[in-house]
Structure 1
Amino acid sequence: MTGPITAIVLAAGQGSRFRAQMDQDKLLAPCVGRDGVTRSVIEQVLVNLPVNVAKRCVVTSPDRSEVIRLAQVHGCEVLLVSSTGMGDSIAAAVAGSGACAGWLVVLGDMPFVLPSSIEQVAAGVEEDGISVPVHEGQYGHPVGFGRSFGPALMALTGDRGAKPLFAQALVLEVPVDDPGVLWDVDVPEALHYR
């Protein structure tokens, strides 16, 4: 595969399970990264993006001024969406990404993924394939989609993500020794990596 891959960082969801326990935007909640530095959840995600993934887009809502600011500080394009649905966010980002070799869908609430895991997934992206990290037999994130998936990704709607595309694809399982690929911050207790 040749050409750049666009990393799409999904940061438009409401985080209602987290907010129900702690009245705060989970993306802005402080957490200690695997490097020992305390940053907000979204900033941990952005810091973990490897330098070789140069094309980056954070999809978020217009009311998240701090997420927008952090995205810009970390060299990301910002795409503002009114929907909180994952499918809508992916579709908008792919449609706006221009020519690229594929997309890496990164969840904005997964602050503990190692940069090396992201690099491995990105390296596995082929034009007609999906690249997914696997830790202890479980699929994780981020997920890489080759260029041929552009039309299917742009057709996603609502809160439904891209998982249904796995059924019609060559899926490259990328084994990683990284529990961070399975670790999302849906509840406040998940802010602490152990």
Structure 2
Amino acid sequence: MTFSPASWTGILLAAGRGRRFDSQGVEDKLQQTLPDGHQVALTSAQHLSSVMEHVVVVVRPDNQALYQQFQRQLYEAVICPDADQGMAASLTCGLRHTACSKGWIIALADMPFVKSATIQALLRELEKGADIVVPVFKGQRGNPVGFSRKYLPELLTLSGDRGARGLLQQFPVLEVPVDDAGILQDIDLPTDLSAQ
């Protein structure tokens, strides 16, 4: 798949280890089933792909089961060899793979309750010229976050486990109000699977 400069891309970060969910590393939270019978990571991917023309999923090298699952569902999955260095490593891996895109909406695979309408609202603001967009529910910022390619150089210098949070404090951000508590809900513990 080619990513033309006219394309907006969705990057789904699915390379974390989820140690809070299972400290032994046996149960992968991204492959757990939600109350509706759908899998966590695939649900997040479906919401992103329902809006974005291109979607790339970033996985870690030792999670072949998840990698193959995404491929079976015809998603483009990219293996990040440095995934254990933190979220920023996964993000920059996805960005390098899609570097000629017009911009990105960066979503987290453990946030399956984000509504497609929220992703659509963020994309609409990027298309209208915003450079950084973040959804806001009842005064709280959440995920996913969108960037135009203007900030690609800054994004590619990120490191550690904070992702792009520092850029949201450093540069002007357009807050997009949404009626979506899902932007604040991630799957950290088994009880979160039925939290909505």
TM-score where L is the length of structure 1: 0.90
How many Å separate the matches in 2 of 1:74 and 1:103? 21
Give the CA deviation at 1:128: 6.0
Secondary structure at the aligned position of 2:23 is classed as helix
Quote the offset at 1:45 in angstroms: 0.6
Structure 2 match to 1:64: 63
* Stretch of structure 1 that moved more, 64-73 or 144-153: 64-73
The correspondence of residues 22-101 of structure 1 with structure 2, limited to 5 A, is: 23-32=26-35, 37-82=36-81, 83-84=83-84, 85-101=86-102
State the distance in 1 between where 2:33 and 2:106 align: 23
Taking the aligned partners of 2:168 and 2:41, their CA distance within structure 1 comes to 27
User: Structure 1's 184 and 21: CA in aligned 2 closer, same or farther, altered over 3 A?
Assistant: farther
Q: Is the 8 A contact 2:51 2:119 kept in 1?
A: no
5+ residue gaps, structure 1: none
Q: Which position in structure 2 is the counterpart of 1:181?
A: 183
**In the alignment, what sits opposite 1:165?**
167
- Is 1:191 aligned to 2:193, yes or no? yes
TM-score (norm 2): 0.89
**1:129 and 1:169 in contact (8 A); partners too:** no
Tell me, what secondary structure is at the counterpart of 1:31?
A: coil
Q: 1:30 to 1:22 in 2, by over 3 A?
A: farther
CA contact (8 A) 1:22 1:188 kept: no
Contact 2:89 2:159 in 1 (8 A): yes
Q: Which has the higher strand share?
A: 1
CA RMSD, 1 decimal = 1.9
Change (3 A) 1:22 1:161: closer
Structure 2, unaligned runs of 5 or more:
none
Q: Within the alignment, does 1:13 sit opposite 2:28 as a pair?
A: no
**2:89 is aligned with what amino acid?**
D
- Once the two structures are overlaid, the 10-residue window that deviates more, 160-169 or 16-25, is 16-25
Residue identity opposite 1:19 in structure 2: D
SS in 1 for 2:173: strand
For the residue of structure 2 that corresponds to 1:125, the secondary structure is helix
Aligned residues: 189
Tell me, yes or no, if the aligned pair for 1:128 and 1:147 is still in contact at 8 Å: no
Opposite residue 12 of structure 2, the aligned amino acid is V
8 Å CA contact retained: 2:111, 2:183:
yes
* CA 15–29 in structure 1, closer or farther in 2 if over 3 Å, else same: same
1:57 touches 1:77 (CA, 8 Å); kept in 2?
yes
Change in Cα spacing, 1:53 to 1:74, as seen in structure 2 (3 Å) is farther
